[in-house]
Amino acid sequence: MTRRPVSRRVSLLRNSKASLSQASRSGRTRIERDTMGPLEVPVTAYYGVQTARAIENFPISGIRFPRPFIRALGLIKWAAARTNESLGTLARKPARVIQQAAREVIAGQWDEHFPLDIFQTGSGTSTNMNANEVIANRASEILNGDRGSRKVHPNDQVNLGQSSNDVIPTAIHVAAIEEIQKNLLPGLGRLHKALRQKAKQFDRIVKIGRTHLQDATPIRLGQEFGGYARQMELAIQRAKHAQSVLAELALGGTAVGTGLNAHPKFASTVIRLLSKEIGYTMREAENHFEAQSTQDSVVEASGCLRTIAVSLMKIANDLRWMGSGPRCGLGEIQLPETQPGSSIMPGKVNPVIAESVTMAATQVIGNDTSITVAGQAGNFELLVMLPVMAHNLLQSIDLLAKSAENFSSRCVEGLVANKDTCEGFIEKSLAMCTELAPAIGYEPAAAIAKESYKTGQTVRELARSQGVLPEAKIKVLLDPWRMTGAIGSRKRAR
């Protein structure tokens, strides 16, 4: 590496110090120092020197950590200060003002002071220090000190008993668990209820089934929607499973998993407080080396979210197909009209809500791929792609939660069935000959299907004209309602 001459480096340092002093006197910035030297910090900023360095070092995307993650960081710092006070490792006065400042962070009062890019140090150290500095400076201010005065110290007091290496993965887990609980489960629950209600409402409507996008034997529209409802029932189970695999927290492992510099009771006490705050029981990791050197739990949780996204995409695409038309498509259902569909074709209405769901699902699937790749970055005692995993996991939860809610309210709950269209397709279907096969044989039934396609006559008409079976038998076998399992000993679809 090429190095500047010593005299040149000394000159630059002197000029830098002079510039910083001048800026500080102007009131626009203040001077803070860390182990690397002095740096300008905006005078109004609650963050400090390490955050300012990270702002300079990572001008990558402009993508910041989301609100749930900042809230989780605030919860951890609040619970840590309260725990350290109770354990006697932190004096009452700084502990109380740290808790007050952390509560303000939890409430979102200082979100603008968390400016760091997602694409930063792989441990998230910059963002952990961002939280430490914001809370320390706000706590110092509460004690009538200036920002940057360090009346409360970001490392020695706010970060007491912690390191970035166990705080950041803990924040990922806490934020994800809380977001699933508060938003994703209610969204999926509403969609499940809506689909279940439609399954019941449409149970008397018979339509043609389709496999390979080709005509198949009849089903009830309610059976089809019952399948979608079951998908969402399983989606709810998968979301809860994602919570369960995230419930082990890395807190207490500190830098490498040994727990060095943390009180033996620190982690368990903090985690009890966090569990109470978010309303979900979490626990200390059984093995801190596993909890910090990997994020297999995040990879698994993301896989659950990916599966939910696949389910939503299947349902949304089916509704688009069934609602296609309105006159030259399938037209079996009518989706709610939400907005004009074309800038050139008057009166056109598109299935925009379903399309929105499919795009959100696509993003979740992409997020899962990134998380999977990031999950392989556990080198020895630390995984070093934590920030991007945090962003993608929380974005996936948010997208699924909002998409499920919006899909329910703006599409599924208001859709109606076109009964005549559904039932009109059945008599034309070649698949009606399926029920003839056990009675007359597969090949004779296939011949009737081919003749039906060639001549345009229905299977019923040909069976009658060819006299393959008595009329009464034909009537029974070609009853579409019977074919759906609604009569006899066949198991009903739920």
Using the 8-state DSSP alphabet, how is residue 378 labeled?
E
Q: Which of 7, 26, 212, 489 is catalytic?
A: 212
Beta bridge partners of 34: 37
426, 480 contact by CB (below 8 A):
yes
What distances in angstroms separate CA 182 from CA 104, 397, 413, one per listed residue?
A: 20, 11, 22
Element (H, E) at 32: strand 29-34
Crossing angle of helices 352-374 and 386-410, rounded to 10°: 160
For residue 86, indicate whether it is catalytic: no
Contacts (Cβ under 8 Å, ≥6 apart) of 155 = 132
What distances in angstroms separate CA 109 from CA 74, 100, 134, 153, one per listed residue?
A: 11, 12, 11, 20
Place of tokens 């963050």: 47
For residue 173, indicate whether it is catalytic: no
Q: How far apart are CA 122 and CA 168, in angstroms?
A: 10
Place of tokens 């074919």: 483
Q: Which of 19, 21, 61, 342 is catalytic?
A: 342
A 10 A CB-CB count for 173 gives 29
Q: How far apart are CA 8 and CA 82, in angstroms?
A: 49
Q: How far apart are CA 24 and CA 18, in angstroms?
A: 10
Contacts (Cβ under 8 Å, ≥6 apart) of 272 = none
Residues annotated as catalytic are 212, 342
